[in-house]
């Protein structure tokens, strides 16, 4: 049995949990699942414009691993766009760079750099918080 893939480091949680197509030919019953590390590689390479070597340093995996993850991410995104399927961002082998929370009241994401006990949202003082790290 091959060993499990190394955990990839994620810096920011994605802003959306999923993307839903609109239109006559959409196929809502068969979503495509994009893993957290695939989303992060796609963001670092295509949105931030980093090289694969730079992304590998940030995500704490090897450069060939980045290539493989990126290949998978592109295939999945192309499949979702072409076949008009929902794209869900969840799962994978990754860990967050620190604790991240989502406030259900103001819908903000925030981190906890000082590792304090978090009971309220720092912006709106809302008490209904989700720990994003648990989603992986």
Site membership for other proteins, residue 95 (CB under 8 A): no
Residue 89: exposed, middle, or buried by beta-carbon count in 10 A (0-12, 13-18, 19+)?
A: buried
User: In whole angstroms, how close is the CB of 61 to other proteins at the nearest point?
Assistant: 17
Strand order in the sheet with 85-89: 18-19, 85-89, 27-34
Do 116 and 90 touch, CB atoms closer than 8 A?
no
Site membership for other proteins, residue 6 (CB under 8 A): no
Site membership for other proteins, residue 22 (CB under 8 A): no
User: In whole angstroms, how close is the CB of 81 to other proteins at the nearest point?
Assistant: 21
4, 113, 117, 128: which one binds other proteins (CB under 8 A):
113
27, 46, 48, 71: which one binds other proteins (CB under 8 A):
48
Do 80 and 32 touch, CB atoms closer than 8 A?
yes
**By CB under 8 A, which span of 26-34, 60-68, 76-84, 122-130 interacts with other proteins?**
122-130
114, 117, 119, 134: which one binds other proteins (CB under 8 A):
114
User: In whole angstroms, how close is the CB of 110 to other proteins at the nearest point?
Assistant: 4
Binding site for other proteins (CB under 8 A): 11-12, 15, 44, 48, 50, 58, 97-98, 106-114, 122-124
């Amino acid at each position: 049995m091959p060993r499990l893939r190394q955990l990839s480091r994620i810096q920011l949680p994605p802003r959306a949990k999923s993307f839903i197509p609109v239109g006559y030919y959409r196929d809502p019953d068969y979503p495509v699942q994009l893993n957290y590390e695939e989303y992060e590689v796609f963001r670092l390479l295509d949105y931030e414009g980093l090289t694969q070597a730079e992304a590998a340093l940030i995500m704490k995996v090897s450069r060939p691993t980045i290539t493989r993850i990126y290949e998978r991410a592109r295939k999945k995104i192309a499949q979702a766009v072409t076949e008009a399927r929902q794209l869900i961002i969840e799962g994978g082998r990754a860990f967050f760079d620190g604790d991240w929370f989502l406030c259900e009241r103001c819908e903000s994401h925030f981190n906890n750099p000082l590792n304090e006990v978090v009971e309220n949202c720092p912006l709106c003082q809302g008490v209904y918080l989700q720990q994003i790290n648990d989603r992986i």
